Structure 1
């Protein structure tokens, strides 16, 4: 297992020139760019597992005979705030292998400055191996488990795989919501839906002009369209997945900040599914929407945001979904002030299912943060 270990150092604390390339508008570090690196790191780790620890370059995919793609990102959970004054280390390794898949665990750590290393983020990528000539799945090298610690990591990877399969089976696109979920949705709609006690304004007013305590989900949409250039290609001559992660993160952050009318703090990437690659030269339409909101305490507002990436065929106008991203942000206020959270309210059955999916994601994130005991945001 240790043969695939790989790390990347970003000396923000000791290099002002490097920090300048990553600084955001608030003087912190652009999290979206770090996600771009994590995706690249996960890919490098997967290739290192297949080609051996001494590999220095991939060479031609046709000569190698296989290629590796990101199938999904299970989670990326922020455990503590990024400190721009400290160096950052990104690392990871393959911790589980199936027949043609690999689970890659990654983490970010603060290092140096005379202080103990501190884990900032943990996450997991699911990578799959494909035959370069036959374009079908290809077997990966099995892991040799040597130490008890490696056995624990292997069992963790297997747990993540089974949890992903279980989540897919329980998806609201396949099965109806539970009776408890249906009751919660009904109670919420009676309180905030059209004609309910929470209705302060009539009509479908825009987000900017609404002064009530809720906003309909359809009014939270934020979009952008972009042409995909070859500078962002990967080794397969498609748009690099990490670049798409950064675009989705930044659009989702913008939407969350506009919705809360203030600064928001990143908590987790709750999942990414990669349905199909994005070709060079295509038009990418990113559509962001607030899917669920929650007050986890009087001083913490939490938002679950979805970003869908579609490729648009210019000639026919046909759109196909390539990626589905889910993120969670929070807005924190001091003890003397409470967050001005407006509830997001679904109006259609499809939106109601998205609202319930968001509720599920917030519950999972709260459980993970509670287990790690590193985030001050209480469970929702």
Structure 2
């Protein structure tokens, strides 16, 4: 069977949603949890469109809330597959909010979701290879490689770090904590 490749552009998905008062938190700004829900939906749509399969969220690797979103703004999310593995994809999402009265747009959020393609029985399935068609695609792919390397390094550190050593406990004294171990 011949390997299938698809362009990054074939994965592009965008949604626009008007922010309503019902989407606010206690400070009157749009609730981050609501934005996360929309991010998960567009990541699913992007991964499923690219892979041709149902996708599940394996991890939310980065969510940077850069600027608050106001009631009445039109939020547009743009997603694309930045990286593919065997059955996984890293979906990058950019969130912009537009004041529909003035036309002013602001970059509010950048997020990276790892999605895994599944078959009807819930088993992971292979995803198409990725065709990088321009230097922006190459940049995003390389940034994903860096992100994966950092995640592996962090996981390795978690495995070998000794949380119970005297040195670790002494080093924690400079923080605003109190340690009461029995």
TM-score band by shorter chain is: 0.7 to 0.9
Alpha-carbon spacing, 1:182–1:45, altered in 2? closer, same or farther (3 Å) = farther
Counterpart mapping for 1:1-380 below 5 A = 1-12=8-19, 19-51=20-52, 66-111=53-98, 112-133=100-121, 135-171=122-158, 174-177=159-162, 183=167, 185-189=169-173, 343-348=176-181
Unpaired runs of 5+ in structure 2? Answer: 1-7
CA distance in 2, matches of 1:121, 1:148: 22
TM-score (norm 1): 0.42
CA distance in 2, matches of 1:158, 1:109: 25
Alpha-carbon spacing, 1:131–1:157, altered in 2? closer, same or farther (3 Å) = same
* CA deviation string 1:182-219 (max 9, x = no partner): 74641443x6xxxxxxxxxxxxxxxxxxxxxxxxxxxx
* CA deviation string 1:250-280 (max 9, x = no partner): xxxxxxxxxxxxxxxxxxxxxxxxxxxxxxx
TM-score (norm 2): 0.82
CA distance in 2, matches of 1:123, 1:4: 16
Larger Cα-atom Rg:
1
2:162, 2:168 within 8 Å by CA — same for their partners in 1?
Answer: no
Between Structure 1 and Structure 2, how many residues are aligned?
173
CA distance in 2, matches of 1:68, 1:346: 43
CA distance in 1, matches of 2:139, 2:47: 20
Cα RMSD after superposing both structures: 2.5
Cα deviation, residue 145, structure 1: 0.7
Partner of 1:56: none
Unpaired runs of 5+ in structure 1? Answer: 13-18, 52-65, 192-293, 295-342, 350-380
Alpha-carbon spacing, 1:104–1:345, altered in 2? closer, same or farther (3 Å) = farther
